[in-house]
Structure 1
Amino acid sequence: MGDAAKEGALSLVSFGGADTFTLRGTLPANFKIKAQAYYGSEDGACSARGDANSYESSQDKTPHNYKFKIPVSYHKGLCTLKLARVALYTTGRYGEKDWQQTYDNGGLKVVDKLPAKAPGFNVQGELVKEAQCTWWFQMTKAKSRQGEISKLLDCKGDGAYVVTESLPGKILTININENPEEEPYRDSYWVKTENGWKPCTGRWGTDYEELCTSPPKFRTFRMNDQECSVYPNCKE
């Protein structure tokens, strides 16, 4: 969904105008981000009333930007709904097959007062955060793809504390960066060599990587329809 479509969808829930803030940032190639804003009310009969609005970027094959304008509060019927939290879902794709993508969770925590050492907005009303996402590789547990490499995504810094009363008009930038150094999902199950990472075997006799023995024994795996002995280069 493009920015114009997102802003059009926003106007449908604004009900004559709303205090908003901007969430924006940069994304690596093959990444996208989704923001899910949750709302609640403390107004008597409206206390059980809640709402949620979603905003999602594109997933371009080149580095790209995202920008969402999110209401801090708005009226729906006779109820005043206020922002309670914003869940963030950062999705990365590492191959062309349907299953070769995954996501990690972040989010904005709405508070009455910033915790100690939590950064706030500057005098220009802006706050910039740099998040880093690291790929964790492993041999998949899916029987239909036995022996293949699959990945998990671990993102750090993809969130912030925000104070409700001072949020309208602010600009929060969360840039998503991709760590060029991938890591094994399990410690001591792979050995790093000068040619790359090698999966261990010989301890339990499973079809997956195993806790390394001493000296280590290695096994092969499959990646991009090839039999490989080292990750990420496949061949030594």
Structure 2
Amino acid sequence: MRYILARPFGLSLLATALSACSSVASLTADSFTFQGQLPPNFSMRAQAHYGVANGCEGRSQARSFESGFQDGPQQYRFKIPVSYRDGLCEMQLARVGLYIHGRYGEKDWQRTYDNGGLVLVDALPQGAPDFDAEGHLNKTAECTWLFQLSKAHSRKGQVSKLLSCKGAGAHLVRSELAGKTVRLDIQTNPEERPYRDDTWLRFPEGWKPCLPKEGWQRCQKPPLFQTFKMNGQECTVYPNCKE
């Protein structure tokens, strides 16, 4: 009697295990890979936003994927679900926000970021690139450092930087996304430039910050130059500090 009862129990366990395996395989198949290369001192964060697809009373959700900073170049690779179930609710990917972080010093304020995004659509806009025959979409974004004199009272007269990244995004057809690979490589422009035009003037030895007009941010004419602080030094020209 005990032996007869054990057989369906064992079969039940086997069926449960097979069901679990099937569920994991389904989740893996219903996702796409987001990957690429980052320069030194850069980090990528992808925030996937999901909406309820089957009319249940669930709320929109978000999942984050982040690479972290490294001193040298690094590869990032995220497996992002296109859809998943949360209880009775079917959650469907709506968009992926991208946050490209860069650091130019060791202090917390010497970190900044720019945005990008993966936009899910029913049909590609005219001229938007599509996946190739192998299911890959490759793009490159270029990030430029923009320098300025800090406006913060505690850092007044010091150089701070912002990040401007172009091409950090793509349009993706929602129904064709599962199982595909999106590659976004980040490159840095070797030439930095001022955050605002006509606030620094360029010379063969580098950039010099102007004293602004009264009530303006732009340079006086003829220009008068000011010193600034960088890495604890009093400087006259950026980025070399001394002329």
Letter in 2 for 1:93: R
Contact between 2:47 and 2:98, CA under 8 Å: does it hold in 1? yes
Equivalent residue for 2:46? 35
| Count of residue pairs the alignment pairs up | 218
Matches within 5 A, 1:57-72: 57-72=67-82
Letter in 1 for 2:41: N
Q: Percent identity?
A: 56
The question of 1:224 aligning with 2:234 is answered no
Query: How far 1:205 sits from its partner (Å)?
Result: 7.7
Letter in 2 for 1:25: G
Equivalent residue for 1:83? 93
The question of 1:215 aligning with 2:222 is answered yes
Query: How far 1:42 sits from its partner (Å)?
Result: 3.2
Matches within 5 A, 1:158-197: 158-197=168-207
Matches within 5 A, 1:107-186: 107-186=117-196
What RMSD, in angstroms, separates the aligned Cα atoms of the two structures? 1.4
Kindly name which structure, 1 or 2, has the bigger radius of gyration based on alpha carbons: 2
TM-score, structure 1 normalization: 0.89
Equivalent residue for 2:7? none
- Per-residue CA deviations over 1:55-109 (Å, capped at 9, x if unaligned) read 0002100011000000001111111111000000000000111211100111100
Aligned mates of 2:194, 2:35 — CA distance in 1: 31
Contact between 2:199 and 2:212, CA under 8 Å: does it hold in 1? no
Aligned mates of 1:45, 1:72 — CA distance in 2: 18
Q: Give the gaps of 5 or more residues in structure 2.
A: 1-22
- Per-residue CA deviations over 1:165-220 (Å, capped at 9, x if unaligned) read 100110100001011100100001110000000011152289xxx41122211101
Matches within 5 A, 1:84-99: 84-99=94-109
Q: Give the gaps of 5 or more residues in structure 1.
A: 1-14
Equivalent residue of 2:116, what SS?
strand
Q: Which runs of 4+ in 1 moved over 3 A?
A: none
Query: How far 1:157 sits from its partner (Å)?
Result: 0.7
Aligned mates of 2:238, 2:73 — CA distance in 1: 25
Contact between 2:235 and 2:242, CA under 8 Å: does it hold in 1? yes
Aligned mates of 1:234, 1:179 — CA distance in 2: 20
Aligned mates of 1:109, 1:79 — CA distance in 2: 22
TM-score, structure 2 normalization: 0.87
